[in-house]
Structure 1
Amino acid sequence: MTLKVNCPTCQTNVIWNESSEHRPFCSKRCQLIDLGEWSFENNKISSPMKVDAEISPDMIEDVEAMLAANEQDFFKE
Protein backbone atom coordinates (compact mmCIF):
# COMPACT_ATOMS: atom_id res chain seq x y z
CA MET A 1 0.00 0.00 0.00
CA THR A 2 1.35 3.42 -0.97
CA LEU A 3 1.08 6.11 1.66
CA LYS A 4 0.13 9.57 0.41
CA VAL A 5 0.41 12.69 2.56
CA ASN A 6 -0.34 16.34 1.93
CA CYS A 7 2.59 18.74 1.68
CA PRO A 8 2.47 20.85 4.88
CA THR A 9 3.09 24.01 2.84
CA CYS A 10 0.96 23.76 -0.32
CA GLN A 11 -1.22 20.69 0.39
CA THR A 12 -0.09 18.86 -2.80
CA ASN A 13 -0.25 15.04 -2.54
CA VAL A 14 3.16 13.50 -1.84
CA ILE A 15 3.90 9.78 -2.09
CA TRP A 16 5.80 8.74 1.03
CA ASN A 17 8.74 6.64 -0.18
CA GLU A 18 12.49 6.84 -0.79
CA SER A 19 12.07 8.50 -4.19
CA SER A 20 10.39 11.53 -2.55
CA GLU A 21 13.58 13.13 -1.25
CA HIS A 22 11.85 16.16 0.30
CA ARG A 23 9.05 14.25 2.04
CA PRO A 24 6.76 15.24 3.65
CA PHE A 25 7.20 18.28 1.39
CA CYS A 26 6.58 18.15 -2.36
CA SER A 27 9.69 20.19 -3.25
CA LYS A 28 12.75 21.95 -1.91
CA ARG A 29 10.85 25.23 -2.28
CA CYS A 30 8.10 24.13 0.11
CA GLN A 31 10.72 22.75 2.49
CA LEU A 32 12.50 26.14 2.59
CA ILE A 33 9.23 28.05 3.04
CA ASP A 34 8.49 25.89 6.08
CA LEU A 35 12.02 26.43 7.44
CA GLY A 36 11.51 30.19 7.08
CA GLU A 37 8.28 29.95 9.06
CA TRP A 38 10.15 28.21 11.88
CA SER A 39 13.00 30.74 11.79
CA PHE A 40 10.55 33.64 12.15
CA GLU A 41 8.91 31.71 15.02
CA ASN A 42 5.57 31.52 13.21
CA ASN A 43 5.53 27.77 13.99
CA LYS A 44 6.00 26.48 17.52
CA ILE A 45 5.81 23.10 19.21
CA SER A 46 5.78 24.21 22.83
CA SER A 47 2.91 25.62 24.80
CA PRO A 48 3.16 28.67 27.05
CA MET A 49 4.61 28.03 30.51
CA LYS A 50 2.20 28.27 33.40
CA VAL A 51 3.26 30.92 35.90
CA ASP A 52 1.52 29.24 38.81
CA ALA A 53 3.24 25.89 38.23
CA GLU A 54 5.37 24.84 41.16
CA ILE A 55 8.57 22.83 40.86
CA SER A 56 9.01 20.30 43.59
CA PRO A 57 12.46 19.44 45.01
CA ASP A 58 11.99 15.88 43.73
CA MET A 59 11.63 17.18 40.18
CA ILE A 60 14.85 19.19 40.50
CA GLU A 61 16.72 16.11 41.76
CA ASP A 62 15.38 14.03 38.85
CA VAL A 63 16.49 16.63 36.30
CA GLU A 64 19.94 16.93 37.89
CA ALA A 65 20.32 13.13 37.81
CA MET A 66 19.38 13.02 34.11
CA LEU A 67 21.85 15.81 33.31
CA ALA A 68 24.61 14.06 35.24
CA ALA A 69 23.97 10.80 33.34
CA ASN A 70 24.09 12.63 29.99
CA GLU A 71 27.34 14.41 30.85
CA GLN A 72 29.03 11.08 31.48
CA ASP A 73 27.89 9.69 28.11
CA PHE A 74 28.59 12.86 26.16
CA PHE A 75 32.28 12.26 25.48
CA LYS A 76 32.04 8.51 24.93
CA GLU A 77 32.43 7.22 21.40
Structure 2
Amino acid sequence: MKKPCPICKKPRSEDHSPFCSTRCKDRDLARWFTDGYSVPGPPAAPEDILREE
Protein backbone atom coordinates (compact mmCIF):
# COMPACT_ATOMS: atom_id res chain seq x y z
CA MET A 1 0.00 0.00 0.00
CA LYS A 2 1.36 3.43 -0.93
CA LYS A 3 1.75 6.08 1.73
CA PRO A 4 -0.34 9.24 1.31
CA CYS A 5 0.97 12.78 0.86
CA PRO A 6 2.43 13.90 4.22
CA ILE A 7 0.75 17.33 3.92
CA CYS A 8 -2.85 16.68 2.77
CA LYS A 9 -3.08 12.85 2.91
CA LYS A 10 -4.18 12.53 -0.75
CA PRO A 11 -2.53 9.83 -2.92
CA ARG A 12 1.08 10.61 -3.87
CA SER A 13 2.05 11.59 -7.39
CA GLU A 14 5.14 10.09 -9.04
CA ASP A 15 5.97 13.52 -10.46
CA HIS A 16 5.97 15.17 -7.01
CA SER A 17 6.96 12.29 -4.72
CA PRO A 18 6.53 12.09 -1.77
CA PHE A 19 3.84 14.75 -2.23
CA CYS A 20 0.68 14.81 -4.36
CA SER A 21 1.25 18.18 -6.03
CA THR A 22 3.51 21.17 -6.39
CA ARG A 23 1.27 22.99 -3.91
CA CYS A 24 1.97 20.49 -1.13
CA LYS A 25 5.67 20.43 -2.04
CA ASP A 26 5.78 24.22 -1.69
CA ARG A 27 3.85 24.14 1.61
CA ASP A 28 6.44 21.73 3.01
CA LEU A 29 9.31 23.96 1.88
CA ALA A 30 7.60 26.99 3.46
CA ARG A 31 7.41 25.13 6.79
CA TRP A 32 11.21 24.67 6.70
CA PHE A 33 11.75 28.37 5.91
CA THR A 34 9.46 29.54 8.74
CA ASP A 35 10.85 27.16 11.39
CA GLY A 36 7.74 24.98 11.25
CA TYR A 37 10.06 22.01 11.51
CA SER A 38 12.96 21.70 13.89
CA VAL A 39 15.65 19.25 14.87
CA PRO A 40 15.64 18.37 18.59
CA GLY A 41 18.52 19.56 20.71
CA PRO A 42 20.02 22.78 21.93
CA PRO A 43 20.46 25.57 19.38
CA ALA A 44 23.90 25.79 17.82
CA ALA A 45 25.93 28.94 18.29
CA PRO A 46 27.10 30.46 14.96
CA GLU A 47 30.70 30.37 16.22
CA ASP A 48 30.50 26.60 16.77
CA ILE A 49 29.19 26.07 13.25
CA LEU A 50 32.06 28.06 11.75
CA ARG A 51 34.66 26.03 13.71
CA GLU A 52 33.29 22.74 12.32
CA GLU A 53 34.14 23.64 8.71
TM-score clears 0.5: yes
Matched residue, 1:60: none
RMSD (CA atoms): 2.0
Gaps of 5+ in 2: 43-51
Matched, 1:7 2:5: yes
Residue identity opposite 1:14 in structure 2: R
Q: Which runs of 4+ in 1 moved over 6 A?
A: none
TM-score computed with the length of structure 2 as normaliser: 0.68
Identity %: 34
State how many pairs are aligned: 44
Residue identity opposite 2:2 in structure 1: K
> Larger radius of gyration, structure 1 or 2?
1
Gaps of 5+ in 1: 50-63, 68-77
Higher relative contact order (CA 8 A, sep 6+): 2
